[in-house]
Structure 1
Amino acid sequence: MSTNRIFEGKDLAEALAEASTRLSIAEPDLDYEIIEQGRRGLFGLGAKSVQIRVMPPIDAETRAAGHGELTGQLSQGRGRRRSGRGNDPAARRPARAARRESSDEPVGERPRREREPAPEAPQESVDQVQASIEKMVGLLGLDLGVRAKGVAGGTEVELDGPDRELLTGGDAETIDAWQFLLNRMSRRAWPEAGRIHIYCNGHRQTRDEDLLALARETAERVLQDGRAKRLRPMNSYERRLVHMTVRKMRGVDSCSEGEGALKRVRVFKRRRRPPRD
């Protein structure tokens, strides 16, 4: 296999099984990245398959011939994936690495600190957010009702009405765009409103559930085969969901890679540091 191949299935397990069968490669030996997380759809409608890109395997001669950098990546549990830049992203995070090395405990077993619950957004800020969104809706000529409420750490906005399908079409990219813009605005206009989350017709809840399931499944596979996995490019809200889910699981961690608003999330196995003499 000289080029990358794309496979799909109703979930990650089915996509991997298809790739394994078609390429005659055992599933644990597949080097892949998830390029489309998929979704279940509503009442069976609008479902989307999970898609993975499988990288060409490295033969024994190439491995032994010595691409030192690639071999180093293999030994660090990155699998045989090539990032395109040739540098391990972990090398660009010296401060993070130093923090991990400062403890005698195995990294994977370090107890996590309990965070205090974030305060609820004040009603005045919530009202300002709702008024601004109502103005946006009116200027766009949309027939939508707006209901905002303060929650721990932010503001939830529910949109409903005859024009809701205009927001949920195209994998809800319009909702994502609105949410991104509103959060940028809130940093200056309503900082106490916290993070703004937009919901419409139950669409975001379904997407969030699918994303959380994918994060857990990916982390479990990393624990099984020890190889890092990279998910499709995501916005900051989606990345935060993945990071929160992965970091609740022992033995795995995650980090963001790339530039710009859309970045990939890499899920990797934590390395145990040998005890000090």
Structure 2
Amino acid sequence: MEYIEISKKTVEDCITEACAQLMVTSDNLDYEVISSGSTGFLGLNVKPAVIRARVKVSTAETEVKTSLEEQVDTKVKEKEEKKESKKAQKKEEKKEEIKKESSEDNKEVKEEKKISYVYDHEFITRSKEFLSNVFGAMNMKVEFNAKYNETDKILEIELSGDEMGVLIGKRGQTLDSLQYLISLVVNRGSEDYIHVKVDTENYRERRKATLENLAKNIAYKVRKNRQSMSLEPMNPYERRIIHSALQYDKYVTTHSEGEEPFRRVVVTLKK
């Protein structure tokens, strides 16, 4: 896990900011002090404190990441062999996303829509077998609950256990990787593209709330300083949260820049 560098007035302020950015408590923070800072003389030559910090890496987390990386390597090879079919699937995914966004904009239609869930389906069986193999290889006890939304073609999976922090990873990256792998498994040979959502300990909602607060804070800074601000690279799902949070803001507007996986949201002042 890479370090991030934090600069604040004091070392304590740096630690607090690092915990906020990495979404961990101080006892789970691995950091080193680069500079303790100085108050200077008569307010002159003031130097801020600087630390390098990251989330503490446990043995279990290392095993999870190693196993997931091996799984990704295998699946990527399969993906290359079926490159043409995957392109078609991506187009279908794009169409489904557009349909979904349109339905979300129309709240009345969404409320009237009846969703049909099933709890015994081929996609659930496939994903359960895959997860059992992955967690079995890592000696992890994880409970698995899933339901398939036949109406919107969405497989929803909820994981629970004692080591969920390991499965979430930094800003949900490990959870996203696991979600991607399951998507490859359930969509193999499927005529329709099946969306997969994997969550644990309500992380997705908590992350959404964090991003919405971040969007509001960034919008305030842009309005105050009258300068555009660029956020850190995010996946498409998290970028949509930022765009949605600020779409009705009177003073700022948003757009995305860069190429995946380094594409980021930029917040600018409206003319």
TM-score (norm 2): 0.52
Question: Any residues of structure 2 matched to 1:184-199 within 5 Å, and which?
Answer: 189=190, 191=192, 193-194=194-195, 196-199=196-199
Aligned to 1:254, what secondary structure does the other structure show?
Answer: strand
The 10-residue stretch of structure 1 (116-125 or 216-225) with the greater mean CA deviation from structure 2: 116-125
Determine the structure 1 residue equivalent to 2:24: 41
The whole-number CA distance in structure 2 between the counterparts of 1:187 and 1:254 is 33
The whole-number CA distance in structure 1 between the counterparts of 2:259 and 2:172 is 23
- 1:132 is matched with which residue: 126, 141, 154? 126
Q: More relative contact order in 1 or in 2 (CA 8 Å, sep 6+)?
A: 1
**Which residue identity lines up with residue 137 of structure 1 in the other structure?**
L
> What residue ranges of structure 2 are gaps of 5+ in the alignment?
32-104
The whole-number CA distance in structure 1 between the counterparts of 2:169 and 2:205 is 15
The Cα shift of 1:114 comes to 4.7
Aligned to 1:233, what secondary structure does the other structure show?
Answer: coil
C-alpha spacing 1:117/1:234, structure 2 compared with 1 (3 Å): same
> What residue ranges of structure 1 are gaps of 5+ in the alignment?
19-35, 50-112, 272-277
Determine the structure 1 residue equivalent to 2:82: none
Aligned to 1:157, what secondary structure does the other structure show?
Answer: strand
Aligned partners of 1:137 and 1:143 also within 8 Å: no
**Which residue identity lines up with residue 131 of structure 1 in the other structure?**
T
Please provide the CA RMSD for this pair.
4.1
The whole-number CA distance in structure 1 between the counterparts of 2:261 and 2:184 is 12
Give CA deviations for 1:141-177 in whole Å, capped at 9, x if unaligned: 1422222346796553210124434303444321021
The whole-number CA distance in structure 2 between the counterparts of 1:39 and 1:170 is 7
Determine the structure 2 residue equivalent to 1:26: none
The Cα shift of 1:129 comes to 4.1
The whole-number CA distance in structure 1 between the counterparts of 2:252 and 2:148 is 33
Aligned partners of 1:39 and 1:210 also within 8 Å: no
**Which residue identity lines up with residue 261 of structure 1 in the other structure?**
P
Aligned partners of 1:247 and 1:253 also within 8 Å: yes
Question: Any residues of structure 2 matched to 1:212-223 within 5 Å, and which?
Answer: 212-223=212-223
**Which residue identity lines up with residue 203 of structure 1 in the other structure?**
Y
Aligned partners of 1:239 and 1:265 also within 8 Å: yes
Give CA deviations for 1:91-139 in whole Å, capped at 9, x if unaligned: xxxxxxxxxxxxxxxxxxxxxx756438566435984443332122111
C-alpha spacing 1:264/1:124, structure 2 compared with 1 (3 Å): same
Determine the structure 2 residue equivalent to 1:232: 232
The number of residue pairs the alignment matches comes to: 181
Aligned to 1:256, what secondary structure does the other structure show?
Answer: strand
- Write 1 or 2 for the structure with the bigger share of helix: 2
C-alpha spacing 1:248/1:180, structure 2 compared with 1 (3 Å): farther
The whole-number CA distance in structure 2 between the counterparts of 1:39 and 1:211 is 13
Question: Any residues of structure 2 matched to 1:248-263 within 5 Å, and which?
Answer: 248-263=248-263
C-alpha spacing 1:6/1:164, structure 2 compared with 1 (3 Å): closer
C-alpha spacing 1:222/1:229, structure 2 compared with 1 (3 Å): same
Determine the structure 1 residue equivalent to 2:51: none
The whole-number CA distance in structure 2 between the counterparts of 1:126 and 1:226 is 54
The Cα shift of 1:235 comes to 0.9
Determine the structure 2 residue equivalent to 1:145: 143
The whole-number CA distance in structure 1 between the counterparts of 2:198 and 2:120 is 13
TM-score (norm 1): 0.51
Identity %: 22
- 1:117 is matched with which residue: 103, 110, 119? 110
